[in-house]
Amino acid sequence: MNTTPTDRRYAKSHEWIKDEGDGSYTIGITDHAQELLGDLVFVDLPEVGSQVEAGGDCAVVESVKAASDVYSPVTGEVIAINEALDGAPETINEDAYGTGWMFKVKLSDASGMDELLDADGYEAMIADED
């Protein structure tokens, strides 16, 4: 099991969000989530310029098993998407916290970050699930 990076925050619905320090925030799904899903074969990302809402579904990851919604941890505007995932969705399986990022947003209200879990909190939550 990969260790959970401490440089970012986590949603209970298994997304991570990282403050890039330049006003942009990168979002992806956790290593735990990709492991539960199994081999990913398709990713549907939001459009650049679209608005995402905290807790709203904004992307879909499909594994060999099933389709799962991805929920935005925060409210904001999508400013970039990881287009490389289109031809290589397995990147999320291989590197969920790095090259498997999904999209970047500009936050309309950064206070939403405080409501998310830190790495310890997220690890405690998934330990509870098992």
Partner 1 sequence: MSKQTVLYDTHKAMGARLVPFGGWDMPLHYGSQLEEHHHVRRDAGMFDVSHMTVVDIKGADVKAFLRYLLANDVDKLKQPGKALYTCMLNETGGVVDDLIVYYLDDQWYRLVVNAGTTEKDLAWLEKRSATYDAAVKPRRDLAMIAVQGPNARAKALPLLSSELQQKGRDLKPFNAVADGDWFLARTGYTGEDGFEIMLPGDRAAEFWRQLHTAGVEPCGLGARDTLRLEAGMNLYGSDMDEESSPLESGLGWTIAWEPQERDFVGRTVLEQQRKDKQKRRFVGLVLTGRGVLRNHLKLFDGEKEVGEITSGGFAPTLERSIAFARVLPDIGETCDVEIRGKRVKAQLVKPPFVRNGKAVIDL
Nearer to partner 1, 52 or 107 (CB): 52
The answer to whether the CB of 105 falls within 8 A of the CB of 52 is yes
| Six token digits for residue 100 | 């498997």
Please give the structure tokens belonging to residue 5.
């990076």
State which residue, 64 or 124, has the beta carbon closest to partner 1. 64
83-118: burial string, b at 16+ Cβ within 10 Å, e else? eebeeebebbbeebbeebbbbbbebeeeebbeebbe
| Contact between 1 and partner 1 per CB under 8 A | no
Measured CA to CA, the distance from residue 69 to residue 86 in angstroms comes to 16
**Contact with partner 1 (CB under 8 A): which of 62, 77, 95, 123?**
62
Whose Cβ is closer to partner 1: residue 44's or residue 77's? 44
Site for partner 1 in 91-130 (CB under 8 A): none
> Which positions from 71 through 90 interact with partner 1, judged by CB under 8 A?
90
Minimum gap (Å) between residue 98 Cβ and partner 1: 19
CB 104 within 8 A of CB 20: yes
Candidate residues 23, 48, 56, 67; the one interacting with partner 1 per rule CB under 8 A: 67
- Give contact residues for partner 1 (rule: CB under 8 A): 38-39, 41-42, 44, 60, 62, 64-67, 90
